[in-house]
Structure 1
């Protein structure tokens, strides 16, 4: 397979005119040269934080606080999840997975409710799909063992040292929500030495220094945080200290569209467009140990092709800025995954 156009190459996403040569699902070479197309070629997205079980409850709970919406065990989403049949849960997740793939997402991290059964339900929804699901089970170490790691709700909800130890011994990912509502759960979360933190909206200087010293990656979800009125994460300050990835959070609150998340983040924070694109691609991939997220030789060919001559993108003078701040699923010409 040969893809031609403006290639956003490497970690700097430097636009070059040329082609990407793919063999057996791997990028064999990226070559500069004259092309006769306005296509834009970039890495597919990695959505670093989702709760796609919420697919059964989209736009439910208007007017409720964050705690009333999602706090375990009796927040609205948890009540709805308990009432739903397994068939309904799998069908809802399957539809969200199909949407993510069609909108350019190659992989996603999911904090999966429901213990072992919840992990297996998501695995069933993923069966036959090209997208990669990094499933962080919740509620038990058995759920962690069934998936790719453990996703803790937050240090104020319980004591997770046992789960952290078990996850480390299993060589899997341990993620935890922190600083979403206030500062009280940030230091206890950091004490667990997690592989990733989620949110950190209320991180203060002392917490940012600890993040920098420990080099713990942070996943931010700006649209979700604004929707639930908890505030905007300090993206610039986090980027200056550690690896930052981008997630869309609860499907209940937001569509799992990385195009929308990038535009929102770029326009409401001090992150540069290249930083935002890295947050949506390579940063999440590296947190999970995935070999994607860059258009570079040796990486899996999980790629997107945008129509640079679409009504929306034609005339764009800066392709990276256009991809991050302007492009949408309607500009997608092709989604290329390794087994195609």
Structure 2
């Protein structure tokens, strides 16, 4: 808001609520909160939907985009000496901050309003991303890695696979602090899935190799899963069983390592919609409200009482004009060039 109490009204086709029912009308925002979603006859080609929530990122990798072509997943990202970790150690604080700032600017430009970050580098890594976020309107849930001190300095703990370490101490400390605990599981094989589930995490990441036993455990425990299908394709580990996971629990979309993939939720949605047997509205939920609720954020839907993190698209762009099914067009076709505005509580 430019001044306290100022009202913002957005008009167009609104993808309302959890079903993303397209209605013609207006969205009213006051003091950074959605206060009304009104059906009305309006003269606007805009499409109004929730800004995206990127449920799994490693943004520090922004220092080395497209590095390591042809390397295996272990050679790329395995701690402590995978290519990513070596490059992160070699980079200065200033280099890391500058690279992350560029990624954050792109994320905002491409419709992302919030993200969940697994932040390498201990406390220093947490401080670096805090510095990089100082000029951003993104909502960030930053999970420190490697040490309990990093967890205490951030919003929680982001663990590597349970085969790499037991993480019992870190899990206990995170629970006592009342913070989020997320963990990679089933990315390269199924061996670390049950140990990860035994930790009773707040969410899992990847689950490429989840079989029926694991899927049943996920359903029984109602643990959400963040999937990153483009990343899994690039690293050659396979594709997560997205439809099967979605039948059993909450599934959210993430873009994973910036040095492997652009942090574009448009690209992640399109890819997911075209490789997984999942309806467009469900993919859009994966890209918005599912990640928000997994991370404890009050955004991800266009409904009263939610924080005003909204995406406004040009429905009359060369790309979107003539779309018969708006939700399907947003998920499978829309892109950065269609973005007219990203609304956040700080800029509404």
Q: Check whether TM > 0.5.
A: yes
Instruction: Kindly indicate whether residue 64 of structure 2 is the aligned counterpart of residue 57 of structure 1.
Output: yes
Structure-1 separation of matches of 2:141 and 2:9: 29
Q: Give CA-to-partner distance per residue, 1:142-173, whole Å, 9 cap, x none.
A: 10010000000110111101000000010000
Structure-2 separation of matches of 1:79 and 1:142: 21
Q: Give CA-to-partner distance per residue, 1:43-85, whole Å, 9 cap, x none.
A: 0000000000000010000110000000001110111111111
2:179 to 148, 172, 177: 172
Identify the residue that residue 150 of structure 2 maps to in structure 1.
143
Structure-2 separation of matches of 1:167 and 1:271: 34
Q: Give CA-to-partner distance per residue, 1:6-34, whole Å, 9 cap, x none.
A: 00000000000001011111111111011
Structure-1 separation of matches of 2:110 and 2:212: 36
Structure-1 separation of matches of 2:306 and 2:117: 23
Identify the residue that residue 128 of structure 1 maps to in structure 2.
135
Instruction: Kindly indicate whether residue 17 of structure 2 is the aligned counterpart of residue 4 of structure 1.
Output: no
Identify the residue that residue 111 of structure 1 maps to in structure 2.
118
1:44 to 48, 51, 54: 51
Structure-2 separation of matches of 1:196 and 1:300: 23
2:218 to 202, 211, 222: 211
Aligned residues between the structures: 340
Q: Give CA-to-partner distance per residue, 1:241-285, whole Å, 9 cap, x none.
A: 000000000001000000000000000001110000000000010
Kindly state the Cα deviation for residue 37 of structure 1 after the two structures are TM-superposed.
1.2
Structure 1 vs Structure 2 CA RMSD: 0.5
Identify the residue that residue 321 of structure 1 maps to in structure 2.
328
1:195 to 179, 202, 208: 202
Identify the residue that residue 100 of structure 1 maps to in structure 2.
107
Q: TM-score, normalised by structure 1?
A: 0.99
Structure-1 separation of matches of 2:89 and 2:30: 45
Q: Map of 1:295-334 to 2, 5 A cutoff? A: 295-334=302-341
Q: Give CA-to-partner distance per residue, 1:293-327, whole Å, 9 cap, x none.
A: 00001111110110000000000000000000000
Kindly state the Cα deviation for residue 129 of structure 1 after the two structures are TM-superposed.
1.2
Identify unmatched segments of 5+ residues in structure 1. none
Kindly state the Cα deviation for residue 133 of structure 1 after the two structures are TM-superposed.
1.2
Identify the residue that residue 78 of structure 2 maps to in structure 1.
71
2:41 to 34, 43, 47: 34
Structure-1 separation of matches of 2:185 and 2:54: 18
Kindly state the Cα deviation for residue 221 of structure 1 after the two structures are TM-superposed.
0.2
Runs of 4+ in structure 1 off by over 6 angstroms are none
Q: TM-score, normalised by structure 2?
A: 0.97
Kindly state the Cα deviation for residue 128 of structure 1 after the two structures are TM-superposed.
2.4
Q: Map of 1:243-282 to 2, 5 A cutoff? A: 243-282=250-289
Instruction: Kindly indicate whether residue 277 of structure 2 is the aligned counterpart of residue 238 of structure 1.
Output: no
Describe the SS at the equivalent of 1:184.
Answer: helix
Q: Give CA-to-partner distance per residue, 1:175-203, whole Å, 9 cap, x none.
A: 00000000000000000000000000000
Structure-2 separation of matches of 1:110 and 1:33: 39
Structure-1 separation of matches of 2:163 and 2:49: 40
